[in-house]
Amino acid sequence: ITLVRTFSGTDSPSVTALDVVAGKLVTAGYRDLKFIDLDLGEVVWDGVGPHTPEAMTHLEDHLAFACGGAGLNTYAVKSSGYPPSTDVFGMGETPKHLQIDGEFLFGHYGSKVYCFDLTQETPSLAWSYPPGDSSEYVLSLQAKDGRVYIGQLSGGVQILEYDRYGFTELVHFHPGGQEIVDLAMMDSVLAVLFDPIDDMWIQRELHLYDLTDITSPVLLDTYANDDFPNLLAAGTTIALWDSSVNAHGIMVLDASNPANLVEASHVATPPLARVTRNGEVLNIVASPSLQMVDVSNPYAPHFGSAISIPDAYYFAAQGNSGYLVNTDLVFDLSDPLSPVLVLSLI
């Protein structure tokens, strides 16, 4: 690792979320939001609020973050003129799993899914789903290519088609079990990870569905396991991983033929590891180390250099030119297998 620059000036005890918007590094910590100019290496705006930001995402020069207890805040990040403009949606709740599809921002809380229109200078709430009260608690959400995929606590999967004016339900089906833990679209195939039985044991079952006919999902293959309760899917590879003290590691599945899932390889991880995905690269964070693994060939994972980092805990990235947050450290991931330390937020 080459130390490029050390930066001081944030007094947050830890960084809980990070994004890069319009050339500005945005960090969120305890009741704190800072905008850092990467060229100048200094804080250009510092905002302190009554609540701690819990999630963050962006589209071009729009930044959105969920603020605990206060709803959703949006900023228009400009090259000059601080503080940035802001709009606060006082929802009385904190939306989770913020993500952007096209020019729309999505999040969910309780039984509701929220869609915000980012096409105007001032973002606005376009619609929420369902329009009335519902007991169908939402656990997982993905918005992609004009559709919203919703996983429910009751074990149901809903798929909506939407625009800024509203939505149409395309299908609502039950894979057969409890709690849709996570889901992900892979071209025309939907990966659904759920709990097959209602008991105290952590078990997971993975189903792949062909959505060529969106109104009639076709089950292609299944994969059941007790050891890997978390899902990361992209391209033609699926990574199932374990974050417990049992250190079961990561199971990499070849999904190039979705009707025939194949256990391609296994990657060992330390206990309590946290795994995220940046394209075809898996990022494994487990104190005191950071390890990047390229799984573009699921049968032969390629390991980057392991980096020793005390108190390693959380990671976030924005593409190949993104950044890694490890409590107080930010890395340039232009080469995702060779991170370079660029900022120390101490």
Mean pLDDT by 10 residues, the chain (346 residues): 40 58 70 72 70 69 68 69 64 75 87 86 83 81 93 92 93 85 90 75 83 94 84 87 79 95 91 82 80 92 82 61 56 77 64
Nearest-CA neighbor of 38 among 52, 18, 64? 18
Q: Can the peptide bond before residue 288 be classed as cis, meaning omega within 30 degrees of 0?
A: yes
pLDDT at 146: 94
What 3 state SS string does the chain have?
CCCCCCCCCCCCCCCCEEEEECCEEEEEECCEEEEEECCCCEEEEEEECCCCEEEEEEECCEEEEEECCCEEEEEECCCCCCCCEEEEECCCCCCEEEEEECCEEEEEECCEEEEEECCCCCCEEEEEECCCCCCCCEEEEEEECCEEEEEECCCCEEEEEEECCEEEEEEEECCCCEEEEEEEEECCEEEEEEECCCCCCCCEEEEEEECCCCCCCEEEEEEEECCCCEEEEECCEEEEECCCCCCCCEEEEECCCCCCCEEEEEECCCCCCEEEEECCEEEEEECCEEEEEECCCCCCCEECCCEECCCCCCCCCCHHHCEEEECCEEEECCCCCCCEEEEECC
pLDDT at residue 204, rounded to an integer: 82
Phi and psi torsions of 319, nearest 5° = 65, -165
Can you read off the two tokens belonging to residue 141?
């959400």
pTM: predicted TM-score of the whole model, two decimal places: 0.81
Amino acid found at 154: S
Q: Are 239 and 295 in contact (CB under 8 A)?
A: yes
Q: Which residues of 231-244 are buried (b: 16+ CB within 10 A; e: fewer)?
A: bbbbebbbbbbbbe
Strand partners, 106: 99, 115
* pLDDT of amino acid 88: 66
- pLDDT, residue 229, reads 80
Predicted confidence at residue 2, as pLDDT, reads 36
The pLDDT score that the predictor gives to residue 225 is: 81
Between CA 148 and CA 173 the distance in angstroms is 14
Residue 14, both tokens: 């830890």
pLDDT at 36: 74
CA distance 138 to 155: 10
Between CA 143 and CA 21 the distance in angstroms is: 20
